[in-house]
Structure 1
Amino acid sequence: MHKWYSFLFEIIVEQFLLYADLFFYSETILQQIVPPVLNSFSDQDSRVRYYACEALYNIAKVVRGDFIIFFNQIFDALCKLSADSDANVQSAAHLLDRLVKDIVTESDQFSIEEFIPLLRERMNVLNPYVRQFLVGWITVLDSVPDIDMLGFLPDFLDGLFNMLSDSSHEIRQQADSALWEFLQEIKNSPSVDYGRMAEILVQRAASPDEFTRLTAITWINEFVKLGGDQLVPYYADILGAILPCISDKEEKIRVVARETNEELRAIKADPADGFDVGPILSIATRQLSSEWEATRIEALHWISTLLNRHRTEVLHFLNDIFDTLLKALSDPSDEVVLLVLEVHACIAKDLQHFRQLVVFLVHNFRVDNSLLEKRGALIIRRLCVLLDAERVYRELSTILEGEADLDFACTMVQALNLILLTSSELSELRDLLKKSLVNPAGKDLFVSLYASWCHSPMAIISLCLLAQTYHHASAVIQSLVEEDLNVKFLVQLDKLIRLLETPIFAYLRLQVLKLRTEDYLFALLFGLTGFFNLLYWKTVL
């Protein structure tokens, strides 16, 4: 039956076309002729589908522009035929497709507004033949001056990006070429809907496909340069796409991402113009948990930038980010830790936030002994540079004075004491303490530190030696006779004796040359030597 049907169908269409130019055909006639042909595209017999393509080709060739009223139905049919299982049908469909494209490009009746929903619906089809068909139509329509495909780009942009990861090199190349053409048009267009497309690009920047990520981040780079105020509501999303790409395994992506990051940070948006600090701060804070050091570093640069530009707004969100910033002090990267400290220092310009920082810092040292051991010196020294050493040490001393955990207090004070005695950053603090007998400011600092330094015998003796209060240091040593001394005390005593041989206590060694046996310094040094010998033999025996 299909054989006779296809034969009769061909004869009828040929006869229609033979006499078509002899009478005036109207839309009514076309409505009677074209739909049956379109229905034949779904016939199970490949010959019927083939003759239907040939028939529709001949009809279109005769009626030309009037054919446009059926465009959406024809496009839908051609889309399916482009993936037909029969090679002859595919070939016939390609010929018809070329003719329809010619008719559309020369017609003033084509409605892009009616066509776009159909195109958008088809863009996520995975069949490679259909994808080639769709890209072909997008390219052709974009070449028509009177058709504004750029204005509808957000409707099918995601579909084009989806094709960049196709297994077919030809499809990837065609999609890339179409995207490149659109990007050039965007650069030269005075009006572009950056917002809707930015949402698509942000998602595609996280694609597992390398080429898709590179293309997306390249588009984002251009959008940041061109978009201006239109992109303000999307800054946070864009930043969320950029920061992970800064650590991408592909160097090309890293380079573009870094450039885009700098471009975005250079834009000085104002909260009065709708710029919302909160979402950007949230994105940057979230990226502090990234497994990649480069991303964490850039996230901290963003937090620092926001603090410098919009301090008041950032401090409104302090409770949301403070714990994360404190945890970042345990980061395995020294560079990250130093940047975190800079952020903390910027926050701690206010007295309230300064004390909160130091309290939380001591708490972190208490619950994580490894943090104090591995990073304690780095953290304290940097804070002293950023926030004034005397201010930091006074606050730490005040907190540790009332510390309930005496073992921790002793360990913490010993660490602070060692930093005080050996760090170049604290040289001015040491000089102030050396003048404590004659300088009221130095005396006040000595008294401020004394209460907490008492948690460690060796720390208080070191402080007295630094302040040259030898009488009191000697009295402290004499009081230790009644204490239950152990190996830990011996270790600390050994460290102190070694420190006495360093340049920091050079003045003390010069003073020893002028000693008389009745001097307190003589008694002090004699007492230290006696304790060391006593503890040494105690541990040996």
Structure 2
Amino acid sequence: MADALSLIPANVFRNLADKLYEKRKNAALEIEGIIKQLTLSGEHDKISAVINLLTSEFAGSPQANHRKGGLIGLAAATVGLGTDAAQHLEVRLTCYIYEVFPAVLCYRLFLLTYPFWMILQQIVPPVLKSFADQDSRVRYYACEALYNIAKVVRGDFIVFFNKIFDALCKLSADSDPSVQSAAHLLDRLIKDIVTESDQFSIEEFIPLLRERMNVLNPYVRQFLVGWITVLDSVPDIDMLGFLPDFLDGLFNMLSDSSHEIRQQADSALSEFLQEIKNSPNVDYGRMAEILVQRAGSSDEFTRLTAITWINEFVKLGREQLVPYYAEILGAILPCISDKEEKIRVIARETNEELRGIHADPADGFNIDAILSIARRELTSEWEATRIEALQWISKLLVRHRNEVISYLNYTFDSLMNALSDSSNRVVLLVLEVHACIAEDPQHFCHLIELLVRKFQRDRALLQRRGALIVRRLCVLLDAERVYRQFSLNLEHETDLSFASIMVQALNLILLTSSELADLRALVKQSLVNSSGKDLFISLYSSWCHSPMATISLCLLAQAYSHASSIIQSLCEEDINAKFLVQLDKLIRLLETPIFAYIRLQLLEPGKHTWLLKTLYGLLMLLPQQSAAFKILRTRLKTVPSYTLGVEQLKRTSSENPYSQILQVTEDSRTQYTAIDFQSQLQKFEQMQHRHRLHSRSQLQSPNLSSSTMSQEIQISEESRESSPQPEITQHPSGPSWNVPGQLRT
């Protein structure tokens, strides 16, 4: 220090610590001159002593004016070293160009440059330390000092780049506007130095950039985007190769409150996307993971940009993105229902592109992961997303049926739950997927079993969607096959109340749906066709759960004598409120076109005696004041008057009620074996006995309210009291059945 004091006049030291800038400036100029002389003399030790004095006594002083003087003095010393530094740079450049240099010359070069680098290592650190000074003016002069130093050393300044970048990043958000302004000037100079330098290491810089990309300060964000843009513009720097390291940070800036920052980030992203389109080697995978997360952002602009990138990636990367299909699909499907139309359009386009790419599990295509995404989106609140999720399951079934079937245990429940969807379009698609799965017999049986259980748990679904589900399955899977399986499952159903409700629903669908016209036609052939007979017997076993469903089936099959026998077999407990409701529905159905053949058969009462007796039997079961009673009575009034002869009446009353059926089969002249209606009647009576026992056990259950019991009893009593009796009159030729209101012959 003594040497340094002897080299620098005392008044220079005093002026260097003065509060007036002009005095400090003049002192710095004198120091610059002194350093120049020492540099020309090659007295590096004395230069080092002066710099040590400036660092310890001034730059490190507790007094702000001393620190300011120290900074301007260090900058002046660097300027004084400028001539020597330029000489060293020229030699180093020559060494770089020729690369191969004699060992002796390289050694001499080292001896020349070593003192300069030692001095530079003394000057820069204290200046950088001053960037964190509490006094804003000190920070300002630190920027000014480093600016002057950088102008002198230029490319050799790169060795300090990371530390300078860190300091500038902090100063960009400085609370003092003048410090910010000075930092911006220094920042522009450093950018110029970096862009023209061949020593800048992008590999060392990227970790520094990555650490700061999620900073929220708007000034820091502008600073970072500025550096990304500048470095990307340098041909020799491959920023695209490191894009995954800071891509998420750029997307994060798209939702910044500052319009300027959003624009800068968007501009940088657009430039990178263009480079990706023109580059053959891109790491799509790492970036795809980032884009998937950003596609779910709450910010609309971020979502739009992310889905746009994903769209381009799917078009460009295609097979390279196979391992990431599930993640990409998980981002696309919600965007299909986005509130912003632009996002919806791009998401749909991307979805079609993705679906058009053929990939196999051998290529990394994870079917289980895709199915998991589709299952998850089946619970989306948006219809469009649910529909696309089902489309994916359907597409996977077509392309990779065996693999998809192997994951059915995880998928079936989701598909079953989707049957309760509020959208008919979704339900219809779910049924198509179910039908595709049910092409295999074992899966078909499993489907019907699951449907039965689903309807059992969710009676509202059966009421609201039962007809739609059954009708659509009948179209997709063959109506006869579907009804036979339903009947087989319900025949041994232990929940008798549900079995009755389910059979009534299936029966109503059978009688009313246009999709089941062929099935109805087959049932009508039950008495003359073996296929019709087999179907009738198959349905009859479960239809026995409901008396009215059984009667309806017999009317459809034209087994009128058996229908009459069933009516006669009914006892008091069978005719309850539920029975009367079903009977009301049947009477109204008799007036529809489906049962037109029955109404036409009434034109020949003598030929269809058992039909007439069946209809009168139904009439007798109806309460007289009910609308159904009036409908049926009105219909029966239109039957032509016909009197049976004594012999015919005796024969009709005494003969086997199934003799007519047997006669029909004989007349058909086929090898058809008649239905054993006697055993069928026993089966019906046994089933109804089980139902009566079940009803009694429920009546004794404390869970059944007294109001429900009294209501059913009251309806039953009213139905008995109001049921009209058939009018029987004595005719000279014998008794006859007469339709009320008809003239008697």
Bin for the TM-score computed over the shorter chain? over 0.9
SS at match of 2:375: helix
2:542 — aligned with what? Answer: 452
How far apart are residue 522 of structure 1 and its match? 1.9
* 1:14 and 2:76 correspond: yes
Superposed CA deviations along residues 54-112 of structure 1, whole A, max 9, x for unmatched, are 12111211221111111111111111111112222111111111111111111111111
Q: How many angstroms does 1:176 deviate by? A: 0.7
CA contact (8 A) 2:374 2:392 kept: yes
1:365 aligns with 2:545: no
Q: Does 1:224 align with 2:286?
A: no
Distance 1:533 1:4, change over 3 A: closer
Judge which range, 414-423 or 29-38, deviates more.
29-38
Q: 1:113-262 maps to which residues of 2 (within 5 A)?
A: 113-262=203-352
Q: Work out whether residues 368 and 407 of structure 2, in 8 Å CA contact, stay in contact via their aligned partners in 1.
A: yes
* 1:287 aligns to 2:349 (yes or no): no
TM-score by length of 2: 0.71
Kept after mapping to 1: 8 A contact 2:74/2:123: no
Cα deviations across residues 251-298 of structure 1 (Å, max 9, x unaligned)?
Answer: 222221111111111111111222110001011001111122221111
- Measured against aligned partners, the alpha-carbon deviations of 1:4-36 in whole angstroms (never above 9, x if no partner) come to 331243134224314522564533332222222
1:528 to 618, 640, 652: 618
Distance 2:608 2:264 in 1: 96
Give a deviation string over 1:420-441, Cα, whole Å, max 9, x none: 0110100110111111222111
The Cα shift of 1:49 comes to 1.7
- Does structure 1 residue 312 correspond to structure 2 residue 402? yes
Q: Does 1:109 align with 2:199?
A: yes
**Contact kept? 2:602, 2:608, Cα under 8 Å:** no
Are 2:560 and 1:470 equivalent residues in the alignment? yes
Q: What secondary structure, in the 3-state scheme, does the structure 2 residue paired with 1:147 have? A: coil
Name the counterpart of 1:505.
595
Letter in 2 for 1:375: R
CA contact (8 A) 2:333 2:377 kept: yes
* Letter of the 2:514 counterpart: S
Contact 1:341–1:379 (8 Å) recurs in 2: yes
Matched residue type, 2:338: D
Native 8 Å contact 1:517 1:523 kept in 2:
no
Q: Is the 8 A contact 2:374 2:393 kept in 1?
A: yes
Q: What number of residue pairs does the alignment pair up?
A: 541
User: Percent sequence identity over matched residues?
Assistant: 75
Is the aligned partner of 1:436 residue 2:526?
A: yes
Partner of 1:389: 479
In structure 2, distance between residues paired with 1:488 and 1:45: 92
Distance 1:466 1:38, change over 3 A: same
With over 3 angstroms needed to count, the CA separation of the structure-2 counterparts of 1:16 and 1:122, relative to structure 1, is same
Alignment of 1:488 with 2:578, yes or no, is yes
Indicate how the Cα distance of structure 1 residues 404 and 19 shifts in structure 2: closer, same or farther if over 3 A, else same. closer
Unaligned runs of 5+ in 2: 1-62, 89-115, 627-716, 723-745
Partners of 1:78 and 1:5 in 2: CA distance: 19
- Partner of 2:297, secondary structure, is coil
**1:533, distance to aligned residue in structure 2 (A):** 4.8
Secondary structure of 1:526's aligned partner: helix
2:389 equivalent in structure 1: 299
For residue 340 of structure 1, the aligned residue among 418, 430, 450 is 430
Q: Residue by residue, what CA displacement relative to the aligned partner does 1:351-401 show, whole Å, maximum 9, x if unpaired?
A: 111111111111111111111111110110011011110000000001111
* Structure 2 partner of 1:30: 120
Which consecutive unaligned segments of at least 5 residues does structure 1 have? none
Looking at structure 1, the residues matched to 387 and 117 of structure 2 have their Cα atoms a distance apart, in angstroms, of 67
Structure having the higher Rg: 2
Distance 1:9 1:498, change over 3 A: closer
Instruction: Name the aligned partner's letter for residue 530 of structure 2.
Output: P
One-letter identity of the residue aligned with 2:606: R
Whole-angstrom CA distance in 1 between matches of 2:499 and 2:321: 52
What displacement does 1:47 show? 2.1
Partners of 2:368 and 2:559 in 1: CA distance: 53
Amino acid of the structure 2 residue aligned with 1:110:
F
Answer yes or no: is the 8 Å Cα contact 2:74–2:145 preserved in 1. no
> Does the Cα contact within 8 Å between 1:516 and 1:522 map onto a contact in 2?
no
Q: What is the CA deviation profile of residues 408-455 of structure 1, one whole-angstrom value per residue up to 9, with x for unaligned ones?
A: 111111110110011010011011111122211111111110111111
Q: Contact between 2:474 and 2:515, CA under 8 Å: does it hold in 1?
A: yes
Equivalent pair of 1:490/1:535 in contact (CA under 8 Å): no
- Aligned counterparts of 1:279 and 1:9: Cα–Cα separation in 2: 62
Alpha-carbon shift at residue 188 of structure 1 (Å): 0.9
1:60 and 1:457 mapped to 2: Cα distance? Answer: 101
**CA offsets 1:186-241 (integer angstroms, 9 cap, x no match):** 11110100000111111111111111111111111111111122211111111111
Aligned to 2:168: 78
TM-score by length of 1: 0.97
Give the SS at the match of 1:235: helix
Query: RMSD of the alignment, in Å?
Result: 1.6
Match of 1:410 among 500, 503, 518: 500
> Which residue of the partner structure matches residue 98 of structure 1?
188
The answer to whether the 8 A contact 1:83-1:127 is kept is: yes
Match for 1:10: what amino acid? I
Residue 138 of structure 2 corresponds to residue 48 of structure 1: yes
d(CA) in 2 for partners of 1:401 and 1:500? 26
CA distance in 2, matches of 1:22, 1:525: 123
Indicate yes or no: 2:194 matched with 1:68: no
**Aligned-partner SS, 1:331:** coil
